[in-house]
Amino acid sequence: MRSTARLLALAALASAASILVSCDVGLPAGRTPHREGNRLDMGDQKKLKPQRKDLFLARATGLMEPQPGAVAEGEAPYPYAQNEADRAGAELVNPLEPTPAVLARGKFVYENFCIACHGAKGAGDGKVTALFPKPPSLMTQKVRDWPDGQLVHRPMRGQNSMPSYARQIDPREAWAVVLWIREMQKSEPVAPPPAAPAATTASAPPAPQAAPPAGGKS
């Protein structure tokens, strides 16, 4: 009797331990869970999956879409609209000095973003102009007279067929490009202003033909 009771007690303890372990580790779940030790497969454990747009996970982790007007830390959006070039020229001041390092950076950015259209010397003869409209030369007196803010406004907001580069280059790099353009203007001759489009004259309508005389005889 004692041995039987002892065996029953051991069996009860083993059953209770099995239940506790199952509750602590978790039951099998998911597509193909591993059965060893009744542990879940790593692919089925709770985790954030960046490629899955899950609103619950986004709320739980704070990775929701930013609110309209939110600005990333360290980012300074360009504050002027496309049609505010004159205002940008009057209010903006170049924060950089033309040191060798800044000029080298400006040259590097110019040769990677601007040279395709504006050409190596800013003459507007880049290789892309064989297929797209040729931009005005950066060496004209008009561009030389622009304040730096007026000049930096163009790549920040775009002009004519040139798109905005505000998402491609940092504002400080745009200022460095302005200094590099000023450096080129020191050694390049002043370019003539763009030629005005030729005026088109409307062709005169043909003169009306004289009516034939009465009787049909000429």
pLDDT in tens, 165-201: 988 898 899 999 999 999 999 999 999 988 776 555 5
**pLDDT 10s digits, 71-120:** 777 777 888 999 999 999 999 999 999 999 999 999 999 999 999 999 99
What structural domains does the chain harbor? 2-61 (no CATH), 85-187 (1.10.760.10)
Q: Which residue has the tokens 């049909």?
A: 216
State residue 137's pLDDT score: 95
Q: Is 151 left (phi over 0), alpha (psi -120 to 50) or beta?
A: alpha
Q: Assign 3-class secondary structure to 111-168.
A: HHHHHHHHCCCCCCCCHHHHCCCCCCCCCEHHHHHCCHHHHHHHHHHCECCECCCCCC
In degrees, rounded to 5, the angle at the alpha carbon of residue 76 between the alpha carbons of residues 74 and 82 is 160
